[in-house]
Amino acid sequence: MTSPIEHKQQQVEAVMRLAPVIPVVVIHDVKAALPMARALVAGGIPAIEVTLRTPAALDAIRAIAAEVEGAVVGVGTVLGASDLRAAQDAGARFAVSPGISPRLLDAADDSALPLLPGAATASEAMSLLERGYRHLKFFPAVPAGGHKLLAAWASPLPQLRFCPTGGISLASAADFLALPNVLCVGGSWLTPADKLSAGDWAGIELLAREANELRELR
Q: Half-sphere exposure (CA, 13 Å, Cβ side) for 205?
A: 11
**What span, in angstroms and rounded, lies between the C-alpha atoms of 38 and 179?**
30
**What span, in angstroms and rounded, lies between the C-alpha atoms of 113 and 93?**
7
Catalytic sites, residue numbers: 49, 137
Count CB atoms within 10 A of the CB of residue 130. 8
CA distances from 140 to 93, 97, 108, 143, 167 (A): 23, 11, 21, 6, 7
Contact between 78 and 97 under an 8 Å Cβ cutoff? The reply is yes
CA 28 to mean position of chain CA atoms: 19
**What span, in angstroms and rounded, lies between the C-alpha atoms of 13 and 1?**
18
**What span, in angstroms and rounded, lies between the C-alpha atoms of 191 and 77?**
17
Indicate the burial class of 189 (C-beta count within 10 angstroms; 0-12, 13-18, 19 or more). Answer: middle
Contact between 71 and 99 under an 8 Å Cβ cutoff? The reply is no
Angle, vertex CA 107, rays to CA 76 and CA 25, nearest 5: 5
